[in-house]
A and B are shown apart, each in its own frame.
Chain A
Amino acid sequence: MAREMIKGNIAMAEAAVRAGLEAYFGYPITPQNEVLEYLSGRLPQLGRTFVQAESEVAAVNMVYGAACTGTRVMSSSSSPGMSLMMEGISYIAGTEIPAVFINVMRGGPGLGNIAPAQGDYFQAVRGGGHGDYHAIVLAPGSVQEAIDLTTLSFDLAEKYNSLAFILADGSLGQMMEPAELPEMRPVNRQDKGWMVDGAPGRPRRILSSIYLDPLEEEKANLRMLKNWQTICANEVRYKEYYLDDAEFVVIGFGTAGRVALSAVRAARAQGIKVGLLRPITVNPFPYKAIEELLPTTQAILVVEMNTGQMLEDVQLAVRGQVPVEFYGRPGGVVPFADDVLHEIERITTAKLSVDTDPRMAWLDRALATG
């Protein structure tokens, strides 16, 4: 397939179709509307299922129903809509069946705004819905990566009977850039031994997230965690830039990681030995990759479009061994590469301590500069 100019939201929608998406259920919300709009025409054309639901609450439960039949199914939304979907997402997790969700994040909390943000990291990575569960969370940094990770999300979801999220943001959803779509894959619905389809000539199947006996629920929780352990062992993905001789490391995901890359390149041009680690899977998080950098690292700068969420995962990896600094632009503000470059310059010259709370120190700086 040739490279073409394509908008992030449409790229993810078409990538899902080509990955064999059979059914989509969604509700309009900016800045992800193009996913729903595109699929409203595309899926019926192919004889596949599209329903515009009455709410995100209904949409996620339609996804739940279709997922129970072993169908490749997904929904997409943006931050406030994802909050509404959390009920169904917890149920899907508890039923241990695959489903894919795209979150084109926007500024929050509350109604917030429709500008790009990364404030839903905790919601995606730490759970979001009630109960103990873990979801695979993939964070693209370009339209091409959004395509590739959408394809991958279905394969991972089905391989592990797991939830898979694409954690994008309004900037990735709305931007156009050259990218290449994969070939159309055939729809491949096979009886995986658990799906419901009317029990023709076999014993009934029941799909639920109920374990009334706490001992059984405990077993289910341990089984899910064991599955997550396998995912953690096999599926950590990240990208490294200029890290071979780096003394300083910037860590950022998605759009913030992309902006940070421009800053790292500018810093390299100045002779600063700085590199970038960009997590692709923010869940499972590349703790080990960060740990391995520590012996040669003087300081780490975490860049996010929030008030420091992935920062906590970086701190878990670093465990106080080197200073961790933070630069954030929450609320729908995308940082400029120059701002990140300024931060890189700061950490290479300032006296840093492992005892500083990076988030609060950043807050003081942010408030001081207005």
Chain B
Amino acid sequence: MVTLTKPDFATEENVVYCRPQAFSDATTHYCPGCTHGIAHRLIAETLDEMGLAEKTIGVAPVGCSVFIYNYFETDFVEAPHGRAPAMATGVKRVLPDRIVFTYQGDGDLASIGMGEIMHAAARGENISVFFINNAIYGMTGGQMAPTTLPGMKTTSSPTGRDVEMQGYPIRMSEMISKMDGAGYVVRRSLHDPKHIRQAKKAIRIAFEVQQRGLGFSMVELLSTCPTNWGINPVDSLKWVEDHMLPTFPLGDYKVAAEVAEIKA
């Protein structure tokens, strides 16, 4: 049962939307049309629904979502760039009965933090990772990311990502799914309500996997960056569907046998 923060005029009957209790009363710094807000909200709603907010420690990344800790009522620590899975390991190993999650962008997780994420997965660290893939560096001003699509223009690939010179995008969910320590690895998208609902289900499963001690869980969320893509918010959603989905197909990449029972 979702417990919602209701304004005075709200009644059980007329409330259709309000702030989850796991959210703080803060205005986010995100650009118009950015899907970080949606991802944050899905996590907060899930923590509310599962009654986990008072036993959760989040690990913030470096990137646009560096200030995620301002928007949650949970405890948070702030990791160096890419090191969130290592920091989460430190927290979780000494507090194994708490819920520990990282929230990381593509530069943080798939570039500078590649070592930390792969080994956290290989060790089967019992943490949940929410991986925001929008194919670009946001905070630093739109440079090429490890997930930037071939041909995609960024401020550091001004003529478009040339795979001959700059290599290919990295598909993290596919790679991490090969780790024996990974219990649940899926890719979802935030580009329309149907996919957002599917993303929320995956976030819930990831936390359940952690609660039951079934190993490393990661939900990759395809996301927008209208500002740095140079596309308006509505067209950005369409751009995810048209351009990102073919390179980053949605799906369940690793669902361990015990995890499959949760889903059913």
Bound CA–CA A356/B60 (angstroms)? 53
Q: A62 and B93 in contact (CB under 8 A), knowing A198-B74, A198-B99, A204-B76?
A: yes
Bound CA–CA A63/B93 (angstroms)? 11
B205 close to chain A: CB less than 8 A: no
A200 close to chain B: CB less than 8 A: yes
A199 close to chain B: CB less than 8 A: yes
Determine the chain A residues whose CB is within 8 A of the CB of B230 once the complex forms.
none
Contact check, B57 vs A61: say whether CB atoms are below 8 A apart: no
28 contacts between A and B (CB under 8 A): A23-B94, A25-B89, A55-B115, A58-B115, A58-B116, A62-B90, A63-B90, A64-B77, A64-B80, A64-B86, A65-B77, A65-B91, A66-B90, A69-B91, A69-B94, A69-B95, A87-B83, A196-B57, A196-B76, A198-B54, A199-B54, A199-B74, A200-B54, A203-B73, A204-B73, A205-B76, A206-B78, A208-B77
Bound CA–CA A201/B54 (angstroms)? 7
B72 close to chain A: CB less than 8 A: yes
Number of interface residues of B (CB under 8 A): 38
Determine the chain A residues whose CB is within 8 A of the CB of B75 once the complex forms.
196-199, 204-206
Contact check, B98 vs A198: say whether CB atoms are below 8 A apart: yes
Contact check, B78 vs A210: say whether CB atoms are below 8 A apart: yes
Contact check, B74 vs A204: say whether CB atoms are below 8 A apart: yes
Q: A54 and B57 in contact (CB under 8 A), knowing A62-B90, A204-B72?
A: no
Contact check, A65 vs B87: say whether CB atoms are below 8 A apart: yes
Determine the chain B residues whose CB is within 8 A of the CB of A65 once the complex forms.
59, 77, 79, 86-92
B4 close to chain A: CB less than 8 A: no
Determine the chain B residues whose CB is within 8 A of the CB of A57 once the complex forms.
83, 86, 115-116
- The number of inter-chain residue pairs (CB within 8 angstroms) is 133
A264 to chain B, nearest CB (A): 44
Residue of B nearest to A207 (CB): B77
A263 close to chain B: CB less than 8 A: no
Determine the chain B residues whose CB is within 8 A of the CB of A23 once the complex forms.
90, 93-94
Contact check, A61 vs B83: say whether CB atoms are below 8 A apart: yes
Residue of A nearest to B72 (CB): A204
Q: Known contacts A65-B59, A71-B94; can you find 14 more A-B pairs with CB under 8 A?
A: A23-B93, A54-B119, A58-B86, A58-B115, A64-B83, A66-B91, A69-B94, A196-B75, A198-B54, A200-B54, A206-B70, A206-B75, A206-B78, A208-B60
A96 close to chain B: CB less than 8 A: no
Residue of B nearest to A52 (CB): B123
Binding site for A on B (CB under 8 A): 24, 53-57, 59-60, 66, 69-70, 72-80, 83, 86-95, 98-99, 115-116, 118-119, 123
Determine the chain A residues whose CB is within 8 A of the CB of B55 once the complex forms.
198, 200
The 0/1 profile, CB within 8 Å of B marked 1, for residues 206-239 of chain A is: 1111100000000000000000000000000000
Determine the chain B residues whose CB is within 8 A of the CB of A67 once the complex forms.
90
Determine the chain A residues whose CB is within 8 A of the CB of B59 once the complex forms.
65
A53 close to chain B: CB less than 8 A: yes
Q: A49 and B94 in contact (CB under 8 A), knowing A54-B116, A62-B87, A207-B77?
A: yes
Determine the chain B residues whose CB is within 8 A of the CB of A25 once the complex forms.
89-90
Determine the chain B residues whose CB is within 8 A of the CB of A54 once the complex forms.
115-116, 118-119
Cross-chain contact of A58 among B60, B78, B83 (Cβ < 8 A): B83
Determine the chain B residues whose CB is within 8 A of the CB of A158 once the complex forms.
none
A74 to chain B, nearest CB (A): 12
A252 to chain B, nearest CB (A): 36
* Residues 228 to 274 of chain A near chain B (Cβ within 8 Å): none
* Residues 67 to 85 of chain A near chain B (Cβ within 8 Å): 67-69, 71, 73
Determine the chain A residues whose CB is within 8 A of the CB of B86 once the complex forms.
53, 57-59, 61-62, 64-65
Residue of B nearest to A64 (CB): B87
Cross-chain contact of B119 among A58, A63, A71, A207 (Cβ < 8 A): A58
Residue of A nearest to B90 (CB): A65
Contact check, B93 vs A198: say whether CB atoms are below 8 A apart: no
Bound CA–CA A55/B83 (angstroms)? 11
* Residues 128 to 163 of chain A near chain B (Cβ within 8 Å): none
Bound CA–CA A58/B88 (angstroms)? 11
A98 close to chain B: CB less than 8 A: no
B92 to chain A, nearest CB (A): 8
B175 to chain A, nearest CB (A): 15
A181 close to chain B: CB less than 8 A: no
A26 to chain B, nearest CB (A): 12
* Residues 17 to 69 of chain A near chain B (Cβ within 8 Å): 22-23, 25, 49, 51, 53-55, 57-59, 61-69
- Please list the 8 inter-chain residue pairs (A to B) with the smallest Cβ-Cβ separation, ordered nearest first: A65-B90, A208-B78, A61-B86, A65-B87, A62-B90, A54-B119, A66-B90, A61-B83
Bound CA–CA A205/B73 (angstroms)? 9
Determine the chain B residues whose CB is within 8 A of the CB of A323 once the complex forms.
none
Contact check, A61 vs B90: say whether CB atoms are below 8 A apart: yes
Residue of A nearest to B76 (CB): A206
Contact check, A209 vs B98: say whether CB atoms are below 8 A apart: no
Best-buried of A22, A25, A65, A196 by chain B (most CB within 10 Å): A65
